[in-house]
């Protein structure tokens, strides 16, 4: 039985007069993972659900970009989405432009290094540290160019006897992956406040 996401996807394709095979070809250079024409057809026919929320979001972002192009093209003629070679480049460029407007890139970010190869990702519910080897693909906690929050994170980790230091890396990270509070990484507000009070008293 089709769920709402499948129906919405199929309706989006029908509104654009775009076949599943054309969509699969157009989206090939945009999606973060390769998908087959068969997979897209199964989604449209509601015989398969999206593999992840991330993938679903990307699929609909492409549909939204296609609608945007259709609405802004001049003269107002239906876009022949089946002409993949003719529209693929402009679709990819427009998708990237719109993505940068909604979720801009940071070219330099602060990360917290725990060892030669390990970087800080967050805290588990039991307070143990989550590490990752990847600082560049959205896994490690990343802080904006202002080092203040990264420095606070380092001090809180040191208070737990976890060796840590902040380092500035030149790497592209989306705004949506930038850490904006210590709480979102698992540090409790009370613990953060306590640390600040202790520092003030000292």
Distance CA 75, CA 95 (A): 21
Domain boundary among 102, 124, 139: 102
Q: Is the pTM of this model over 0.85?
A: no
pLDDT tens for residues 46-84? 999 999 998 999 999 999 999 999 999 888 889 999 999
Q: What is the pLDDT of residue 134?
A: 87
Convert the pLDDT of each residue in 132-174 to its tens digit.
998 877 789 999 988 999 999 999 999 999 999 999 999 889 8
Domain boundary among 78, 102, 126: 102
**What's the confidence (pLDDT) of residue 197?**
41
CA dihedral 91, 94, 98, 99 (to 10 degrees): 60
Q: Are residues 66 and 125 in the same domain?
A: no
Q: Which residue range(s) make up the domain with 28?
A: 4-102
* Nearest of 31, 38, 86, 22 to residue 62 by alpha carbon: 31
The answer on 124 and 97 residing in a single domain is no
How far is 66 from 106, CA to CA, in rounded Å? 26
Length of the chain: 202
**62: phi then psi, degrees, rounded to nearest 5:** -70, -45
Q: Would the pLDDT of 13 be above 80?
A: yes
Would the CA dihedral through 61, 136, 34, 92 be positive or negative?
positive
Number of domains in the chain: 2
Task: Verify that 87 and 110 share a domain, yes or no.
Answer: no
22 and 11 inside one domain: yes
Q: Radius of gyration (Cα) for the chain, nearest Å?
A: 22
């Amino acid at each position: 039985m089709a769920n709402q996401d499948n129906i919405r996807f199929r309706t989006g394709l029908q509104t654009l007069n775009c076949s599943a095979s054309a969509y699969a070809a157009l989206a090939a250079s945009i999606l973060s993972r390769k998908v087959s024409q068969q997979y897209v057809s199964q989604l449209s026919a509601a015989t398969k659900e999206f593999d992840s929320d991330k993938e679903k979001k990307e699929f609909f972002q492409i549909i939204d970009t296609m609608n945007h192009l259709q609405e802004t093209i001049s003269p107002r003629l239906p876009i022949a989405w089946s002409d993949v070679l003719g529209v693929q480049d402009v679709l990819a460029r427009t998708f990237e432009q719109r993505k940068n407007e909604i979720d801009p890139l940071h070219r330099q970010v602060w990360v917290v290094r725990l060892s030669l190869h390990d970087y800080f990702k967050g805290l588990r519910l039991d307070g143990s540290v989550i590490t990752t080897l990847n600082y560049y693909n959205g896994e490690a906690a990343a802080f904006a160019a202002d080092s203040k929050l990264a420095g606070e994170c380092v001090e809180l980790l040191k208070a737990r006897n976890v060796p840590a230091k902040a380092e500035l890396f030149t790497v592209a990270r989306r705004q949506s992956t930038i850490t904006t509070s210590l709480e979102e990484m698992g540090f409790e507000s009370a613990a953060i406040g306590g640390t600040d009070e202790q520092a003030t008293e000292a």
